[in-house]
Amino acid sequence: MITPQSICNHELIGLYAVVVGSRNKTQEGMCGFIVDETKNTFSLQTGNGIKCLEKQYMLLRVTLPDSVNVVIDCSCLSVSPTRRVTMRVR
């Protein structure tokens, strides 16, 4: 189960996300479902197609399956998703 405390160790694909802060101001307010993730980027399915967003310097508000909103500093997610899922949080 995904919780706000363990969000960094879970798969984010399929979750609804809104960019709440970014170094690239044109990305702020962009919203949609996360459809792909690499070490450095998210692919977001928006109303205008799929947008590729750089993780570094971005704040993302993600809605969990139980309708809880969590704001994530995406620079802490700059690890390969497959490696991040198996990491232990200290």
Whole-number pLDDT of residue 19: 96
Q: What is the pTM of this model?
A: 0.85
Whole-number pLDDT of residue 89: 55
Q: For the segment 22-68, what is each residue's pLDDT rounded down to a tens digit? A: 998 999 999 999 999 888 999 999 999 999 999 888 999 999 989 99
Query: Residue 47: what are its φ and ψ, rounded to 5°?
Result: -65, -20
Instruction: Render 16-62 in DSSP notation, one character per residue.
Output: EEEEEEESSGGGTT-EEEEEEE-SSEEEEEETTEEEEEESTTEEEEE
